[in-house]
Amino acid sequence: MQSNATPPKLTLVTPVWNKAGYVGRMIASVRAQTFTDWELIIIDDGSSDGSLLEVERAAGGDGRIRWYSQANAGVCAARNNGYSYATPGTEFVQFPDSDDMLEPTMLAESIATLDANPQAVLAYCKYQAVGPDDAPIHFPYDRRMVPAGPFVRSQPDTEPITQLESVVTWAPLTEPVCMMRRSAFDASLQWDLHLGQHGEGVLLFTDMALRGDLVFINKPLYLYRQYGVQSTSDAPKLARQERKTTLQLLVWPGDEGHRRRVRRAMLFAEGPARGIRGVERGIELLRSGRISEGLRIAAAGLARWWMAILFPAAFLGRLERECYAYLHAQGIDWKPADAWRLGRSK
């Protein structure tokens, strides 16, 4: 446990599941930070490859690092469980992944951003995708899409505040790059066990956006590992999780004012934002000579766009039915939870 009378300023929580080949590099990148007032809590989520031995080796007797084990329960349960071991009184919390790495100034710059923006509850940065050998690779970086009247615009990198509409449009707030005020995280719904992995960040960061500002740092301060066996490479799973996330957002729990804000944001995300993507895709197909397909997709995008604006209640009802129909076609009987299941027992 933390031996100092004064708690560290930052708690880092990292779940590990069979990442013996990478977790040592992640720990080394944390120990190399220019900001040093942190604690790192690692939860071994039932690994079978010696990950915990690598954690102990890489920690090198550093008293700021502690580790615990649990039976395999998934990343969200491991994050919540790891957080239950945090030293009382730390000011910020972050959840880096066990196979990624932090640039040396990431913690210092994230904390400086939050200190300079007292209304902010979260700061996040750009990331650089890397392959298994740490070499940089190209990885598409999603736009931050927001309303501009009945139209859509992309937030430029020079615009720091990320809007709620952008969050529910799956803006690139990758879970491990986000540092949060612990007071806001404590009051939030935290990591949703009911939903499962992929989309859990959209839910949590929607909650954060209802509590304060989300500030974007226009620097690639995080190295995000990409390789073929990740859950984010499973396209059918991603499609299922996106539908589940949409359904959970449509029945946002708690304050009625917050629920209305989330539903308005969903109208934008599933109407104009998704519609403009359809129009853009249709134009690409037209330019490539696929005239019939291009016209059909562009027209569908325009129809979706304007239906959300002109008939919002009917649009959301249809969206809900479409999500359920898709899941049922996949053999999945799933309904959104009234509240997240925190699972914070040790």
Same domain, 81 and 214: yes
* DSSP class per residue in 124-178: EEEEEEE-TTS-B--------EEEETTEEEEPPTT--BPPHHHHHTT-S--GGGE
Same domain, 219 and 266: no
Residue 255 lies in a domain: yes
Measured CA to CA in angstroms, residue 197 lies from 12, 60, 74, 102 at distances of 19, 31, 8, 22
Residue 238 lies in a domain: no
Q: What is the pLDDT of residue 138?
A: 87
Residue 153 lies in a domain: yes
pLDDT at residue 283 tops 90: yes
Same domain, 276 and 207: no
End position of a domain, from candidates 233, 257, 288:
233
More confident residue, 253 or 35: 35
Residue 147 lies in a domain: yes
Closest CA to 129 of 54, 197, 230, 214: 230
Q: 107-113 long-range CB contacts below 8 Å, 24 or more apart?
A: 107/10, 107/30, 107/33, 107/34, 107/35, 107/38, 107/179, 108/33, 108/34, 108/35, 109/217, 109/219, 109/221, 110/179, 110/217, 110/221, 111/9, 111/10, 111/35, 111/179, 113/215, 113/217
Residue 208 lies in a domain: yes
Work out the pLDDT band at 337, boundaries 50, 70, 90: confident
More confident residue, 346 or 200: 200
Closest CA to 125 of 174, 166, 61: 174
**Model confidence over 236-256: pLDDT tens digits?**
899 999 999 999 999 998 789
Which amino acid, residue 70?
A: Q
Which amino acid, residue 267?
A: L
More confident residue, 304 or 341: 304
Residue 145 sits in a domain whose CATH number is: 3.90.550.10
Same domain, 98 and 76: yes
pLDDT at residue 321 tops 80: yes
Same domain, 202 and 171: yes
Between strands 65-70 and 38-45, the pairing is: parallel
End position of a domain, from candidates 204, 233, 262:
233
Same domain, 148 and 186: yes
Residue 122 lies in a domain: yes
Residue 239 lies in a domain: no
Q: Which two tokens stand for residue 304?
A: 């979706």
Residue corresponding to tokens 């729990």: 253
Same domain, 121 and 175: yes
pLDDT at residue 52 tops 90: yes
Pairwise CA distance, residues 114 & 307, whole Å: 39
Percent of the chain with pLDDT over 90: 87
**Total structural domains in the chain?**
2
pLDDT at residue 233 tops 90: no
Asked if 221 and 125 touch (Cβ cutoff 8 Å), the reply is yes
Percent of the chain with pLDDT over 70: 95
DSSP one-letter code for 87: P
Same domain, 250 and 315: yes
Least confident of 38-42, 105-109, 225-229, 241-245: 225-229
Q: What is the pLDDT of residue 341?
A: 60
Same domain, 39 and 78: yes
**Model confidence over 145-158: pLDDT tens digits?**
999 999 999 999 99
Same domain, 142 and 55: yes
Same domain, 255 and 307: yes
pLDDT at residue 344 tops 60: no
Average pLDDT over residues 117-131: 96
Residue 209 lies in a domain: yes
pLDDT at residue 228 tops 70: no
Residue 14, domain extent: 10-233
Residue 50: partners with Cβ closer than 8 Å, 6 or more residues away: 20
Pairwise CA distance, residues 191 & 202, whole Å: 10
Pairwise CA distance, residues 45 & 35, whole Å: 28
Same domain, 266 and 198: no
Average pLDDT over residues 213-222: 97
End position of a domain, from candidates 177, 201, 233:
233
Residue 245: partners with Cβ closer than 8 Å, 6 or more residues away: 195, 199, 202, 203
